[in-house]
Structure 1
């Protein structure tokens, strides 16, 4: 059971008020028709990010109700507890201190008589030391050659976070060292990658908080076998391979040592860092290798700037609070059970996948902090794609399907330098921006988005009808830099916390992941022993078929 001290928003009169408001017919077309100043009032901005939420199905009454709902569950106190290291992860009796990972070195945060900022910056110093050795060619493989390729082996947050950030910031890369990412348990990714790499110049980062994740360790074992095959031919030893070709990142030093990671190449995590919130820690080593430590620190600084905004801004102007409350309004009250993230910038290609884990693993919960069953909808199903690609994939459903879907449009205002050489690229960027704005308009207004639309023709050709009324928020970033990307990621992290606070769920555990892992181990043992197991008849029949084919 939990010792969560906060009142439940569900028991607030504002919850009932919002339920009643949600029963009204909401029309975005009508909202704009009755208020041509909506876009000048339903917006907020902080640092590099401008948020327009005028195309959401809300009015001033709903917004006030949502803000009151946040106050009713003492969101301000919850935010303070998050930032100051209180035990907000109630099911695991831990703090959730990802915000401490981006505090400046001059700050101090004492938790359990330990200044965690000091520990964080000691770890960052190690990240800087190791990344510098790799980047400047000092780090050598078993045959004496400098490293040319780095492979990050992880899964979940240990993969999605650094993968997303490295891809987004690749234009900031100032090294020829190529960073690769492997997560798939079945070995396909790794097998295809190893065929292209040189064992003598490849370094592996094993990223696992527990250093017991089977997905990660199975890939690491295969990588070690591949390296040893080449090393033996060149008179290299296993000890040399382990020391020169592996770095470990984990909260479990003993397991790293047992696996063979040299103590000098072990980077520290802590139990108060959740995987999906960990890219700011040593898990970001791959990012630092690719873009340099100074730019990695800019990423941290951007996140810290959003932390400060979240902790101090009035809720009416607070981007994470507003974004989180709108998500609750859509999912819980308007019964919109799907949400899509649509970045109109190819550099943010992996952002939807990253946010899919961040939101659904955090808030895909059905019990409150005290273990009570929830009788309202929590996290919606989330997915996304680069907007221009999505237009030719699932926008058909968004525009003319039967499902209500809420959307986040994300775009960067500036990208290419305004010079003659980049004229064509600048033109493409402007096309992308125009598509972003146009799609949000059509989703909101349907056929009414086009002033001269022939209503009679649409009535006759109903397959050409756009119903509209799909709510969306548009996030505009001045330009994509390490600092602004840090702001954007932290914005969504805090959005998740706001949603969890309203729903009274713990966003920092993921027990729903564990049962499948345990059952997989049981099934694996049955396969290895070639014996029957006490499974359902379907599973046993499938096992028998696998055994027959294997023979």
Structure 2
């Protein structure tokens, strides 16, 4: 096990002995992880296909932003200052920038990286004293939006549209509907005062009708799934207040420095990446579970799904050649004891071995010590059962005599690996360290696999096909591509 500033990483229950770990550390050194890490922090174009750096660390780590330098660094500082100003105004229930109108509700509209991170930190660091209510809209499905708007007062509601490119169809459709809803109640000027945008494409947001004083910028070298540290998290920062959001950034910056400075054998992200690659490529495990034993972290599995699978779910190496290795596993997860009553049957006795990543908090923020002890005991019991199992002799001793056919159902093979990440407590600093740990782990995996963790071309093809299909749906036409029978069925039901 290793520790860093209130974060315990226990990997004693993975099938990995010390000689093998030493060999893996040599693999890490030979793969150039240290040189690639230094290039990442120096602002090299590590995103080769888009010829961009990946400097999301600059949003939280002053040394990295200083290295960016020049006008771009000043632009980032100004954007973060505006984020903090707007967050505090909204937190106090006042509409920025003039703070002359009341705000009771803030609607955050975004999808993917423009939603998952902000929603996670907003829930994980829920403020009991905040009066501002925050709502999230993601999928283009209209029903959640219509139900939400039916509960809101447009005169006390603000809307923030979050899209790096400001071309995201889901976000812009919601944006048009919300703008119309505000305009019909408040007029054009009143609606404009309550519309905000966060984007790297300021001109597109302005063309949509967002006033310059309500635009928040973030750089195009911040990938969507790495953007929660930026003004993308305006809604979360407004809910918790800028002081707590700054503490989140401080915690993440501490993990940045650990990743840069710690020897490989004590470097938490490096060790976690080596274990992940060992499981994927040597043991052949094709899935990976995240099980947070704290309800406040219930959105962590969805966040990690995107972080891991969109970053490293690729079969082509950075140099354009096919990967000879399996890359990102399928990621899933559920909170604590709920998972024990759903997926854990397969994890204990299924035909596939699936490594588990348990996440827990040692000190709760409530007074029911018995409940917290039961929660942690359940987690530790699952870890022990996965690792040790129960053989025939132990089963007969525990359960008594039974027919062989029934005995076979009660055996546990064990040798099913798990890791534990234990936070001393769940506060902004600890959460920042945890999320930055996962980011750097994913980067190290990408180096070991020789792939680019910072592009996502796999999401593009479906988006290019959708407009023609939508046109056919709306017009009652066919579009080919094997969809005509399905379209005909939909057309019949829509008449």
TM-score, length basis structure 1:
0.86
Deviation, structure 1 residue 226: 1.9
Partner of 2:164: 209
Distance 2:97 2:66 in 1: 39
Deviation, structure 1 residue 181: 0.6
Matched, 1:241 2:191: yes
Matched, 1:512 2:446: no
Partner of 1:68: 26
Partner of 1:23: none
Matched, 1:545 2:493: no
Distance 1:62 1:118 in 2: 47
CA contact (8 A) 2:42 2:64 kept: no
Distance 1:549 1:389 in 2: 38
Deviation, structure 1 residue 120: 2.4
Q: Secondary structure at the match of 1:444?
A: helix
Q: 1:173 to 1:86 in 2, by over 3 A?
A: farther
Of 73, 81, 95, which residue of structure 2 is paired with 1:125? 81
Which string of whole-angstrom CA distances, capped at 9 and with x for unpartnered residues, describes residues 162-211 of structure 1? 000000000x4532111111101111221221121111111111000001
CA contact (8 A) 1:343 1:349 kept: yes
Distance 1:128 1:353 in 2: 27
Distance 1:450 1:298 in 2: 49
Of 291, 295, 313, which residue of structure 1 is paired with 2:240? 291
Q: 1:501 to 1:207 in 2, by over 3 A?
A: same
Deviation, structure 1 residue 462: 1.4
- The within-5 A match list for 1:45-444 is 45-104=3-62, 108-110=66-68, 114=70, 116-139=72-95, 146-170=102-126, 172-231=127-186, 237-242=187-192, 244-416=193-365, 422=367, 425-444=368-387
Of 527, 532, 536, which residue of structure 1 is paired with 2:473? 527
Q: Secondary structure at the match of 1:151?
A: strand
CA contact (8 A) 2:197 2:205 kept: yes
Deviation, structure 1 residue 457: 5.0
Partner of 1:4: none
CA contact (8 A) 1:141 1:241 kept: no
Distance 1:204 1:86 in 2: 36
Partner of 2:420: 474
Q: 1:140 to 1:247 in 2, by over 3 A?
A: closer
Deviation, structure 1 residue 116: 4.4
Q: Secondary structure at the match of 1:335?
A: coil
Deviation, structure 1 residue 268: 0.3
Deviation, structure 1 residue 126: 0.3
CA contact (8 A) 1:141 1:201 kept: no
CA contact (8 A) 2:41 2:64 kept: no
CA contact (8 A) 1:527 1:547 kept: yes
Deviation, structure 1 residue 138: 3.3
Q: 1:455 to 1:65 in 2, by over 3 A?
A: farther
Q: Secondary structure at the match of 1:54?
A: strand
Q: 1:70 to 1:105 in 2, by over 3 A?
A: closer
| Structure 1 unaligned regions, length at least 5 | 1-42, 232-236
Q: Secondary structure at the match of 1:447?
A: coil
CA contact (8 A) 2:86 2:97 kept: no
Distance 2:46 2:352 in 1: 35
CA contact (8 A) 1:458 1:464 kept: no
CA contact (8 A) 1:332 1:377 kept: yes
Deviation, structure 1 residue 467: 1.6
Q: Secondary structure at the match of 1:121?
A: helix
Of 398, 407, 420, which residue of structure 2 is paired with 1:461? 407
| Structure 2 unaligned regions, length at least 5 | none
Q: 1:105 to 1:324 in 2, by over 3 A?
A: closer
Which string of whole-angstrom CA distances, capped at 9 and with x for unpartnered residues, describes residues 267-308 of structure 1? 001110000000000011112101110110000000000000
Q: Aligned residues, how many?
A: 491
Distance 2:66 2:139 in 1: 39
RMSD: 2.1
Distance 2:361 2:324 in 1: 39
Which string of whole-angstrom CA distances, capped at 9 and with x for unpartnered residues, describes residues 327-365 of structure 1? 000011110001000010011010111001100010000
Q: 1:345 to 1:293 in 2, by over 3 A?
A: same
Distance 1:101 1:526 in 2: 43
Distance 2:21 2:242 in 1: 41
Return structure 1 stretches of 4+ with deviation > 6 angstroms: none
Distance 1:338 1:456 in 2: 36
Distance 2:6 2:403 in 1: 41
